[in-house]
Structure 1
Amino acid sequence: MRPGAVNVTTPSVEQLEIQAVHRIRQRLVSDRTRLVKQIRGLLAEHGLVVARDISRIRRALSQITDGVDHMLGALLVELVRDVREELNELDQRIAAYTKRIRDLFRSNELCQRIGKIEGIGPITATALIAAVGDRTCFKNGRQFAAWLGLVPKQRSSGGRSRLFGISKRGDRYLRTLLIHGARAVLRKTAGKTDARSLWIERMRDRRHPNVVAVALANKNARIVLAVLSGRTNYQPALSG
Structure 2
Amino acid sequence: MAKNDFDELMSIGVDIGKDVFHLVGFDRNGQLVLRKKIKRMALAATFEELPRCVVGMEACMSAHFVSRTLRKMGFEPRIIPAIYVQPFNKGQKNDYNDAEAIAEAALRPNLKTVSEKTQEQLDLQALHRVRSRLVSRRTATMNQIRAFLIEQGITVRKSVAALRTSLQAILDNRDDEMSLRIRKLILGLQQDWIWIDKRIEMTTSEIEGVSKSEASCQRLMTIPGIGPIISTAVVAAVGNGEAYDRGRDFAAWLGLVPRQHSTGGRTILGRITKRGSRYLRMLFLQAAQVIMMRPKNWPKFSFGPWLEAAATRMQHNKLGVALAELPPEHRTLT
The TM tier, using the shorter chain, reads 0.7 to 0.9
Aligned to 1:214: 321
CA distance in 2, matches of 1:30, 1:85: 16
Residue 171 of structure 2 corresponds to which residue in structure 1?
A: 65
Q: How many pairs were matched up?
A: 227
Give the SS at the match of 1:164: strand
What's the CA shift for 1:163?
2.3
Q: Which amino acid aligns with 1:234?
A: L
Contact 1:114 1:120 in 2 (8 A): yes
The correspondence of residues 105-124 of structure 1 with structure 2, limited to 5 A, is: 105-124=211-230
CA contact (8 A) 1:64 1:80 kept: no
1:126, CA displacement in angstroms? 0.2
Between Structure 1 and Structure 2, the one with more strand by share is 2
1:196 alignment partner in structure 2: 303
How many percent of aligned residue pairs carry the same amino acid? 37
Q: CA deviation at 1:68?
A: 4.9
Task: Report the CA distance between 1:144 and its aligned residue.
Answer: 1.0
- 1:169 aligned residue: 275
The residue correspondences of 1:1-240 to structure 2 (distance < 5 A) are 1=84, 6-68=112-174, 70-133=176-239, 135-157=241-263, 159-190=265-296, 192-194=298-300, 195-219=302-326, 222-223=327-328, 234-235=333-334
CA distance in 2, matches of 1:119, 1:191: 11
More helix by share: 1
Could you tell me which amino acid in structure 1 is paired with residue 333 of structure 2?
A: Y
1:206 counterpart SS class? coil
Higher normalized contact order (CA 8 Å, seq sep 6+, divided by chain length): 1
Structure 2 counterpart SS, 1:165: strand
Query: For residues 214 and 5 of structure 1, do their structure 2 counterparts lie closer, same or farther at Cα, with a shift above 3 Å needed?
Result: farther
What is the CA RMSD across the aligned residues, in angstroms?
2.4
Q: What is the CA deviation profile of residues 110-129 of structure 1, one whole-angstrom value per residue up to 9, with x for unaligned ones?
A: 10111111111100000000
Report the TM-score when normalising by structure 2: 0.63
Rg larger for: 2
Distance 1:49 1:198 in 2: 44
Asked if the contact 2:285/2:324 (under 8 Å) is kept, the reply is yes
CA-to-aligned-CA distance 1:178-227 (integer Å, 9 cap, x gap) = 110111111112364344233222222112211111111101xx329x99
CA distance in 1, matches of 2:160, 2:130: 20
Deviation at 1:96, TM superposition (A): 0.8
Judged with a 3 Å threshold, the aligned counterparts in structure 2 of structure 1 residues 134 and 124 are, in CA distance, closer, same or farther, namely closer
Q: Is the 8 A contact 1:10 1:133 kept in 2?
A: no
Query: Would you say the 8 A contact 2:257–2:272 is kept in 1?
Result: yes
Structure 1: which 5+ residue stretches go unaligned? 228-232, 236-240
Letter paired with 1:203? A
- Worse-superposed segment, 206-215 or 189-198: 189-198
Instruction: Using the TM superposition, give the Cα deviation of residue 74 of structure 1 relative to its aligned residue in structure 2, in angstroms.
Output: 2.5
Name structure 2 gaps, 5 residues minimum: 1-83, 88-109
